[in-house]
Amino acid sequence: MKKHNYSAGPCILPQEVFQEASQAVLDFNNTGLSILEISHRSKEFVDVMEEARNLALELLGLEGKGYKALFLQGGASTQFLMVAYNLLQVKAGYLNTGAWSTKAIKEAKLFGDVAEVASSADKDFRYIPKGYFIPSDVDYFHCTSNNTIYGTQIKEFPNTPKPIVCDMSSDIFSRELDFSKFDLIYAGAQKNLGPAGTTLVVIKEDILGKVERSIPSMMDYKIHINKASMFNTPAVFAVYTSMLTLRWIKKNGGIAAMEERNEKKAALLYSEIDINPLFQGYADKKDRSTMNATFTLLNDDLKETFDTMWKEAGVNGLNGHRSVGGYRASMYNALPLESVQVLVDVMSELERKA
């Protein structure tokens, strides 16, 4: 039986994507070859890469606006340093909203000064700082749109004339935003997009070429753009599966439809967290993520019972990140509303039993 998969990433993908991807492992588009054995230079795969890049821009509403999409390797973690390598000449501004922002800051410091414009470390990253000031002498401003570990999400992005770089690893394609506000967006594929192994990078081309340092080829966005994201062998299977997911998003109404579903799922789960006296939400209500809901069980004595109950109901991946504890329900695009209902029913059943 298929599990109700709440894993934070790698995570659930649409069932039809799993089916199509597994078919392509056996025979890709009736070529008599597996997707795992075709050349990345074959016309069939070049078409996949082009479709994936174009669909990403189309769904984000960025076609014809000077942006390029790339599918790179090394995870979002490589983007922490690649961003700074390509954009940080003297100083950059970073908003610190958690462990991933902290890691991005650490890498950026290898290339120049970092001004931490605000941080929510004072309250264990339970909220998103607001009303902060972005210095006028920064080369760019960096933020993390959704904090996967703490379950917080930026609802309003700052206005600044400086380029905005955003780590959207855990909420890309989940909600409508004016994506043209951002100059560089990156996201590890393994949440709303595809399997682990590729990272989507969307760049406004005119922000490049402004730093003086020499950049090694694999770290250079310009080289990847000039080579149409094929400078070296790309993660063929991960890109193919991401392309299938992008097709699925488009076929199912695009980002607007994903957002509507995601809001319904989040509303259902958060209302149970709030009315059920056994549970408490981790993040500040106004900053709650629609992707990752974090919560704790107030009475430790009930933990064993609760854990047995949700596992028996077919729920998977509900344990919180090891640094926060408690529970985390990741409700990415592909998780159906019915899965959320199953979890909510278990939570209210626990209340009846307790």
Backbone Cα Rg of the chain? 21
Question: What is the widest separation between alpha-carbon atoms in the chain?
Answer: 65
Between 144 and 262, CB nearer to ligand PMP: 144
Residue 191 annotated as catalytic: yes
Residue 97 contacts ligand PMP per CB under 6 A: no
Q: Is 171 annotated as a binding residue?
A: no
Residue 289 contacts ligand PMP per CB under 6 A: no
Residue 73 contacts ligand PMP per CB under 6 A: no
Size of the site for ligand PMP (CB under 6 A): 11
Residue 100 annotated as catalytic: yes
**Cβ 252 to ligand PMP shortest distance, Å:** 24
Which span (70-78, 225-233, 315-323, 332-340) binds ligand PMP, by CB under 6 A? Answer: 70-78
Residue 284 annotated as catalytic: no
Contacts of range 119-122, beta carbons closer than 8 Å, 24 or more positions apart: 119/95, 120/96, 120/152, 121/96
Q: Is 73 annotated as a binding residue?
A: no
* Residues between 179 and 208 that touch ligand PMP (CB under 6 A): 188
Binding mask 98-117 for ligand PMP (x = CB under 6 A): --x-----------------
CB 190 within 8 A of CB 308: no
**Cβ 83 to ligand PMP shortest distance, Å:** 12
Q: Which residues are catalytic?
A: 100, 167, 191
Binding residues: 41, 76-77, 100, 148, 167, 190, 232-233
Residues within the interface to ligand PMP (CB under 6 A): 9, 75-77, 100, 144, 148, 167, 169-170, 188
